[in-house]
Amino acid sequence: MEITARALWTLLHGLGFGALYLLACSGALVELYRSTASSASSESTPARERFLKTYLLTMTVLAWAAVLTGAYVIYPWYRAAPLPGTTDLSLFPQHLLMSTSATSRWHSLGMEWKEHVAWLAPISITMVTFVFIRYGRSLKDHPQLRSAVLTFAVASFVAAGIAGFFGAMINKYAPVQGGHTIQLRTGVEK
């Protein structure tokens, strides 16, 4: 059982940070909505508020970790240019996708959209976290501010969803491969 270093980084970026962020989004949206609703005063407690602040901070770290590993670790492998005359493009995912019309849109639409829209997620969730830490439950006293914050939280979810979807699909058609091989477990021959 083995995995290449590049595949491990991709796994960490997509599943470790990206997918975990997407999973956390639904919980954050519900809890943000509930804890700052005008009728929330009776059920919200300081401990619950503290929990949500920690939860949002963790999400912020996940969002930044996802885009930074994506842009500075995996993307250089994805966009690497092959030497002229190279016929095996398996180590050059962007060029592999662009080599046939059946897959070229995964790059020209999918990656081109993903590489930019993904950054709206950390920008938005950082703002959401800051505002909730600053205002806490008193955000319910500022209904218009609360609505704007919730809209940005939804936008963050949507942006991460678009990036996650295209990331998964691109990795299906042109996976990032190569690097040294990491042996996870040695099998026994039968």
Contacts with other proteins, residue ranges (CB under 8 A) = 67, 71-72, 75-76, 79, 108-109, 112-113, 115-117, 119-120, 123-124, 126-127, 130-131, 134-135, 138-139, 141-142, 144-145, 147-149, 151-152, 155, 158-159
Give the nearest distance from C-beta 165 to other proteins in angstroms.
14
Q: Is 63 exposed, middle or buried (0-12, 13-18, 19+ CB in 10 A)?
A: buried
Give the nearest distance from C-beta 84 to other proteins in angstroms.
19
CB 65 within 8 A of CB 126: no
Helix (H) or strand (E) holding 182: strand 181-183
39 versus 186: smaller Cβ distance to other proteins: 39
Give the nearest distance from C-beta 19 to other proteins in angstroms.
21
Give the nearest distance from C-beta 55 to other proteins in angstroms.
18
Q: Report the SS3 class of residue 174.
A: coil
18 versus 189: smaller Cβ distance to other proteins: 18
Give the nearest distance from C-beta 18 to other proteins in angstroms.
16
CB 132 within 8 A of CB 59: no
Compute φ and ψ for 181, nearest 5 degrees.
Answer: -90, 135
CB 140 within 8 A of CB 36: yes
H and E: helices and strands count for the chain: 9, 2
- Retrieve residue 160's tokens: 């991460």
Cα distance between residue 131 and residue 146, in whole Å: 9
2 versus 138: smaller Cβ distance to other proteins: 138
20 versus 150: smaller Cβ distance to other proteins: 150
Q: Report the SS3 class of residue 3.
A: strand
86 versus 108: smaller Cβ distance to other proteins: 108
Cα distance between residue 125 and residue 60, in whole Å: 6
Give the nearest distance from C-beta 183 to other proteins in angstroms.
27
2 versus 141: smaller Cβ distance to other proteins: 141
